[in-house]
Amino acid sequence: MSLRALVLIGVLTLGGGVPRLPAQEAADGAAAKTKHTVKKGALKIEVALIGVFEARQMTPINLRPEAWAVFTVLDSVEHGSRVQPGDTLVTLDLEGIDTAIADLESGQKLAELSLETAKSELAATEAALPLDLEAAERGKRMADEDLKRFLELTRPQSEKSALFALKSAEQFVEYQQEELNQLEKMYKADDLTEETEEIILKRARNDLEQAKFFLEQSKEHMEQTLQVELPRLEISMKESALRHEIDLGKTKTALSVSPGKLRLALERQLHEFRQAADRLVKLKKDREAMLVKAPVAGVVYYGHCQRGKWSSSLMGESKFTHGSALTANSVFMTIVQERPMCVRTTVAEKELRLVRPDVAGKAVSVAFPNLHLPVKVEAIATVPTAEGNFDAKLSVDLGGDAQSLLPGMNCNLTLVAYSKPDAVTVPPAAVFSDQLDDSKQFVYRVGADGNHQRASVTIGQRTDTQVEILDGLLEGDKVLLENPEAK
């Protein structure tokens, strides 16, 4: 037997085994790093959030006017004041609305008188129009009759009378001239004295002169009658008949239009009266609302709370200084009842699967860091309140040590989304997905002989350092931390 063989036998005898060379030890260390022994242990998944304490009962204070729009502050309670029902919150300037109400009230009285006048006018018009129509028809009928009588009888008779009067005057002159001629002849042949003759002849000459004058007057009268008076009278009578016809048409139109027009005017007055009355009611209601009183007991917060956050634009004192203006339909104060409270928080979309109703945890007040309060998720919004964020409300057990906590204070939340004391877990590097179906996961389990084989697993919860195995592995199994098929 050689010396080398004897030495080897001695080493085996003294050391109890074959000596490990450095290369073998390095290889064994590398294999240990690529394997993991499956163990059971606690698996806890926590979600850290930022929350704010919120009062469950908050009464927003705002002005919802129906007609008035000017709200000037004279005085107000301070932010943080405690109030009782009926306490004045804000004192507003009422002078403008009082003037408007007084003007409307006096205007309504005048409008009532105007309405009564309009109603009387409508009634009088409706009663008088039939009489006016009857009078217009009668006037038209009489004018037509007068014109017809004039054309058929009066004018021909007047023309005949004028001509006859002229003829009579001419005959009278002729008779007087003949009589004078005969007297002159007779006196030349008789023996009458000169004085008597002169008297008779003078009278005859005077009669002749009068007859001639009457003849001239008759001619002038005839011309005046035929050329002026009768044509003018005919024109006047025709115009009168036409005017009566026009008046009759106007009366008929008025009969059909005027009552309707007056009714429309009356309806418009009534509408304006009702509008003014409605505005008066609204103004009085607005004035009553401008006496801003506390509807409930609590603490006055300036501004409006939305999902636990107070509107910063209204938190300033300047909003309620003397002479400042309040905006209608905007919450400017909130009466907060300090108890009970809840916690508001915002959950990121990636954590939504972990934060579910009834998930519990604790809230640590920022103001009082030693105060740890139990919380539980009550509800989560089904739609995002902002991009990628969802609103959540949590119940909180305040207990007796949280008297100093007030709505609006912040807290840090730690929610235990999942907890299992005997979970079977492996590192995330040990779990692989099927390339054809990524919903199927598997591991490479190492057998007692050191060989590995693929084993399908059902996974549960997952963290950055642990993956829960619900089925497919047992405690004590060994798995590879690398994919041997990828080499």
- Residue 403 corresponds to which tokens in the numbers above? 């008297």
What tokens were used for 164? Answer: 């006859």
pLDDT at 13: 36
Cα 49 to chain centroid distance, Å, stands at 40
pLDDT value at position 466? 92
- Report pLDDT for 10: 35
What is residue 318's predicted lDDT score, i.e. its pLDDT? 62
Please tell me whether residue 432 adopts helix, strand or coil conformation.
strand
Q: How far apart are CA 132 and CA 247, in angstroms?
A: 10
| Whether the model pTM is above 0.85 | no
SS3 string of 365-387?
ECCCCCCEEEEEEEEECCCCCEC
Rounded Cα distance between 37 and 349, Å, is: 34
Start-to-end CA span in the chain (Å): 46
State residue 222's pLDDT score.
Answer: 87
Q: Is the CB of residue 462 less than 8 Å from the CB of residue 468?
A: yes
Q: Which domains occur in the chain, in start order?
A: 1-27 (no CATH), 45-92+296-421 (2.40.30.170), 98-286 (1.10.287), 427-486 (2.40.420.20)
- Per residue of the chain (487 residues), give pLDDT as tens: 333 333 333 333 333 444 444 444 444 444 556 899 999 999 999 999 999 999 999 999 999 999 999 999 999 999 989 999 999 999 999 999 999 999 999 999 999 999 999 999 989 988 998 998 899 999 999 999 998 998 999 989 988 988 998 888 888 888 888 888 888 888 776 655 577 778 888 888 888 888 889 889 888 988 898 899 889 999 999 999 999 999 989 888 888 888 889 999 999 999 999 999 999 999 999 999 999 999 999 999 998 888 777 775 444 556 788 889 999 999 999 999 999 999 999 999 999 999 999 999 999 999 999 999 999 999 999 999 889 999 999 999 998 888 899 998 999 999 999 999 999 999 999 999 988 887 899 999 999 898 999 999 999 998 889 999 999 999 999 999 998 887 5
Residue 134: the pLDDT is: 92
Which pairs from 7-10 meet CB under 8 Å and 24+ separation?
none
pLDDT of residue 282: 96
Longest dimension (CA), the chain: 239
Residue 108: Cβ within 10 Å count: 14
| Among candidate residues 474, 82, 89, 110, the one with its CA nearest the CA of residue 297 | 82
